[in-house]
């Protein structure tokens, strides 16, 4: 049994490690494609972060220039992460509400979200573990039972003092105005997202060991800097390739020099189309993207109506 920061990992790789010549064939981009096409790869765990939502218009944390941390100077915080730390939020929730204001609105899931949905439709999705709180995976049709929202989501809200449930519409109205919402007990209310310093939902520790049974791990749009999410990839077996889609190779991947890692550089919105094409799944993917256009139209209509 391995223990990572108090989290017990009971499952673990049991199979014997493949010889280097086999690994050389399997741990390549083409090896992964062949593995999926031939049915050798049947269970895919997808680990995602803010980078898969930047194409929907939601900024990530750490991208230089566009990431939220690079816009933090004006808030005069002790350190940029403070805006998402529970300790700071309880002292002063205003910076959080100000920054959250810029993130409200209806966002359309990206092609990468629909790729996860495609894996689900093909019976290949073992689980999607996401750090994202925007629920775009759900909006793209990924089923609740296959989605682990490790850092919570903005679908609900509670008081940080008495724990009372807060009407989400009231919370959203406050976020839209950039004004903190306080409970009758005087404590600030917060959407059900996990801030730095808070425990992850129990669903995460209950399901994290599933990664050990994956035939392939896909990692996308995450700097892998947030613990314990960053540990998930370590749970994959010795013969499980890890395909990493990111603009910038995460330090953890670069530094590990592990031959299971296959890095696909670039905008994941573009790389994923190419990957789908190589898998010969263009027709199914196009149908999902057509459904996405319907969703986009629906949101535009709603926006127009709200203006009248």
Among 50-58, 87-95, 115-123, 287-295, the segment contacting ligand CNA (CB under 6 A): 50-58
- State how far the alpha carbon of 272 is from the alpha carbons of 45, 68, 101, 283, in Å: 16, 25, 30, 14
Residue among 61 and 204 whose Cβ is closer to ligand CNA: 61
Indicate which residue of 151, 158, 174, 277 is catalytic.
151
Q: Tally Cβ neighbours within 10 Å of residue 53.
A: 24
Question: Between 55 and 240, whose beta carbon lies closer to ligand CNA?
Answer: 55
Which range touches ligand CNA (CB under 6 A), out of 1-9, 51-59, 141-149, 289-297?
A: 51-59
Any contact of residue 115 with ligand CNA (CB under 6 A)?
no
Which token pair is 127? 């689980």
Contact flag: residue 95 with ligand CNA (CB under 6 A): no
CB atoms within 10 A of CB 137: 29
Judge whether 253 and 263 are in contact, CB under 8 Å: yes
Q: How far apart are CA 205 and CA 6, in angstroms?
A: 10
Site string for ligand CNA, 222-261 (x = CB under 6 A): xx-xx------------------xxxx-x-----------
Q: Does 51 bind ligand CNA (CB under 6 A)?
A: yes
Q: Would you state the structure tokens that stand for residue 47, as one six-digit string?
A: 């680990």
Min dist. Cβ of residue 242 to ligand CNA (A): 15
Listed in sequence order, the residues at least 6 apart from 280 whose beta carbon sits closer than 8 Å to its beta carbon are 37
Other beta carbons within 10 angstroms of residue 296's beta carbon come to 13
Q: Residue 268, interface with ligand CNA (CB under 6 A)?
A: yes
Q: Which is nearer to ligand CNA, 164 or 248 (CB)?
A: 248
CA distance 111 to 56: 9
Output the DSSP codes for 187-203.
Answer: PBEEEEEPPBTSPPPHH
CB 260 within 8 A of CB 234: no
Binding residue (CB under 6 A) for ligand CNA from 35, 36, 62, 95:
62
Interface residue with ligand CNA among 221, 237, 262, 264 (CB under 6 A) is 221
277 is a catalytic site residue: no
Of residues 192 and 246, the one with the C-beta less far from ligand CNA: 246
Cα 157 from Cα 173, distance rounded (Å) = 12
Pick 70 or 209: Cβ nearer ligand CNA: 70
Closest approach of ligand CNA to the CB of residue 142, in Å: 14
> Using the rule CB under 6 A, which residue among 36, 41, 46, 58 binds ligand CNA?
58
Query: Does 60 sit near ligand CNA (CB under 6 A)?
Result: yes
Neighbouring C-alpha atoms within 13 Å toward the C-beta of 169: 0
- Comparing C-alpha atoms, which of 40, 41, 37, 58 is closest to residue 49? 58
The correct pick among 45, 47, 53, 72 for binding ligand CNA (CB under 6 A) is: 53
Residues between 118 and 147 with contacts to ligand CNA, criterion CB under 6 A: 131-134
Q: Please pick, from the candidates 54, 128, 149, 207, the single residue that binds ligand CNA as defined by CB under 6 A.
A: 54
Contact 212, 13 (CB under 8 A): yes
Q: Are 248 and 219 in contact (CB under 8 A)?
A: no
Residues in contact with ligand CNA by the rule CB under 6 A: 49-51, 53-55, 58, 60-63, 67-68, 131-134, 151, 221-223, 225-226, 245-248, 250, 267-269
Known catalytic residues are 151
């Amino acid at each position: 049994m391995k223990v990572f920061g108090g989290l017990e990992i009971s499952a673990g790789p049991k199979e014997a490690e493949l010889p280097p010549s086999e690994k050389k064939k399997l741990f390549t981009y083409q090896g992964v494609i062949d593995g999926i096409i031939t049915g050798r790869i049947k269970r895919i765990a997808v680990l995602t972060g803010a980078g898969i939502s930047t194409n929907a218009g939601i900024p990530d944390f750490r991208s230089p220039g566009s990431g939220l941390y690079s816009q933090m100077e004006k808030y005069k915080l002790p350190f940029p992460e403070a805006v998402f730390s529970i300790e700071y939020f309880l002292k002063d929730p205003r910076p959080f509400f100000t920054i959250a204001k810029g993130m409200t609105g209806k966002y359309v899931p990206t092609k990468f979200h629909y790729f996860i949905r495609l894996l689900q439709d093909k019976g290949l999705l073992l689980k999607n573990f996401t750090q994202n709180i925007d629920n775009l995976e759900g909006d793209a049709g990924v089923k609740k039972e296959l989605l682990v929202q490790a850092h919570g989501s903005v679908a609900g809200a509670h008081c940080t003092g008495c724990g009372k449930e807060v009407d989400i519409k009231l919370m959203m109205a406050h976020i839209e105005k950039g004004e903190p919402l306080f409970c009758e007990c005087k404590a600030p209310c917060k959407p059900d997202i996990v801030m730095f310093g808070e425990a992850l939902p129990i669903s995460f520790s209950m399901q994290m060991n599933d990664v050990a049974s994956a035939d392939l791990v896909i990692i996308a749009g995450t700097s892998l800097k947030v613990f314990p999410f960053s540990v998930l990839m370590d749970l994959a077996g010795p013969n499980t390739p890890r395909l990493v889609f990111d603009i910038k190779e995460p330090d953890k991947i670069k530094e590990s020099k592990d031959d299971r890692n296959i890095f696909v550089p670039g905008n994941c919105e573009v790389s994923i189309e190419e990957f789908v094409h190589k898998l010969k799944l263009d027709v199914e993917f196009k149908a999902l993207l057509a459904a996405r256009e319907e969703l986009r139209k629906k949101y535009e209509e709603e926006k127009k109506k709200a203006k009248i």
